[in-house]
Amino acid sequence: MPVLALYNLKLISAGTITEGKAVLIENGTVIDVIDESAIPADAEKKSLNGAFLAPGFIDLQIYGSGGKLFAGTPTVEALEQLENDLLNQGTIGVFATIGTNTNEIVETGIEAAKIYSQKSRGAFWGLHLEGPYLNPAKKGAHPEKFIKKATLTEVKGWLEKADGVIKMITIAPELQDQEVIDYLYEQGVIISSGHSNATYAEGKSFLKKPVQAVTHLFNAMPSMHHREPGYIPAIFEEKPYTSIVVDGIHVDFAMVRLAKRELGDKLFLITDAVTSTKEGAYQHELRGDRYTMPDGTLSGSNLTMLKAVENCVKLAGIDLAEAVNMASLYPAELASQTKKGKIEKGFDADLVIFNADFEVLGTILKGDFLTKTT
């Protein structure tokens, strides 16, 4: 196979936008980024007609897609639907997420993930367990009857059963025993604090010691107050990797701007997206521009990653190249995916092409242009 040379594009990588460059791809890898005038004569040339070329997006928190809610009915088919839909949307890496639920659902999800990881196209990276070890005071849409304190025996059992497929877990650290937190950290699981009612002092005690991340900033956590600062100022000071849902519903755009000023290159985008379903513990209903539970409680979002990028640019005052970092480079760093999130020599050729109207024109996975899958 000849080297593929992509040209006539606006290259977004590492916080900058560059024109007049060509990206050379071979065997699923970016082998160089060069001036268009230097494209080798024997390369297979492909013009992108002036579109943006960016690192493929990475979504570390999403529950399901296309009417199949993996989080509620965790099947191999739901994972396949999720991966195909996300690849069509320019997302090349995903942690499928299971919210607080019964042990049976969690364990069924683990088994489905293990099976699907053997046949995945490459965008399914593993599981994110959001719960059940949360703080009921900040349960949000999570059913309180399933929320509990972690035991080392249960956590060990799940991780051993998972055989490496559990990549991330959201817990309320202030309620957990240190031995559980230490075990998760030693096993290489990303520990994220979420649905937490931690105080400022508690946050200072566990963030980055060793809790590496925070789940959906501002949602399901105490608000700031000038005499009771609460958890959020501790997040701003310790600066762990922190996810945020930029749909204007879960978080006002003024607060997105504040978070960006405080957290800089540690703030990253998730969709927190769900899909409509009438079965299981999470019966999400699309009401206008948002999903809610049947009782009206706000649940997951209706976002795509590119829509979150667009919202950052148009409504939160964040430069396009930096918004792309928030959707690719920073989650890649948190997930220890050292060859994702940039378009540079030696990085994986997992890319997204989109236009000035924020429409996905194509996805490249392992160097191959994907045809859309319904």
In a structure prediction context, what are the per-residue pLDDT tens digits for the chain, which is 374 residues long? 789 999 999 999 999 999 999 999 999 999 999 999 999 999 999 999 999 999 999 999 999 999 999 999 999 999 999 999 999 999 999 999 999 999 999 999 999 999 999 999 999 999 999 999 999 999 988 999 999 999 999 999 999 999 999 999 999 999 999 999 999 999 999 999 999 999 999 999 999 999 999 999 999 999 999 999 999 999 999 999 999 999 999 999 999 999 999 999 999 999 999 998 888 888 888 888 888 888 888 888 999 999 999 999 999 999 999 999 999 999 999 999 999 999 999 999 999 999 999 999 999 999 999 976 54
**Residue 263 vs residues 241, 250, 255, 260, 273: alpha-carbon distances, Å:** 8, 18, 12, 5, 23
Q: Is residue 137 packed enough to be buried (19+ CB in 10 Å), middle (13-18) or exposed (0-12)?
A: middle
Tell me if residue 54 falls in helix, strand or coil: strand
- Between vectors from CA 235 to CA 166 and to CA 144, what angle results, nearest 5°? 55
d(C-alpha 74, C-alpha 80), whole Å: 11
Q: Does the pTM exceed 0.85?
A: yes
Cβ proximity of 71 and 97 under 8 Å: yes
**Residue 197 vs residues 35, 101, 200, 212, 237: alpha-carbon distances, Å:** 52, 20, 10, 17, 17
d(C-alpha 247, C-alpha 66), whole Å: 19
d(C-alpha 47, C-alpha 28), whole Å: 18
Could you say which of 3.40.50.300, 2.40.160.210, 2.30.40.10, 3.40.30.10 is the CATH number of the domain covering 4-54+341-369? 2.30.40.10
38 DSSP assignment: G
**Residue 57 contacts by C-beta under 8 Å, 6 or more apart in sequence?**
89, 90, 91, 92, 93, 305, 306, 309, 327, 328, 352
Ranges in the chain annotated CATH 3.20.20.140: 57-334
Question: What was the pLDDT predicted at 372?
Answer: 67
Element at 162 (helix H, strand E): helix 152-162
Tokens of 128: 């994110």
Q: Is residue 23 packed enough to be buried (19+ CB in 10 Å), middle (13-18) or exposed (0-12)?
A: buried
Cβ proximity of 115 and 75 under 8 Å: no
Which numeric CATH code is attached to 57-334? 3.20.20.140
Active site residue 272: yes
Cβ proximity of 350 and 11 under 8 Å: no
Amino acid, res. 320? L
Cβ proximity of 30 and 344 under 8 Å: yes
Which among 369, 344, 291, 372 has a CA at the least distance from the CA of 54? 344
DSSP 92-143: EEEEEEEES--HHHHHHHHHHHHHHHTT--S-EEEEEEE-SS--GGG-TTS-
Catalytic residue among 247, 272, 348, 350: 272
Ranges in the chain annotated CATH 2.30.40.10: 4-54+341-369
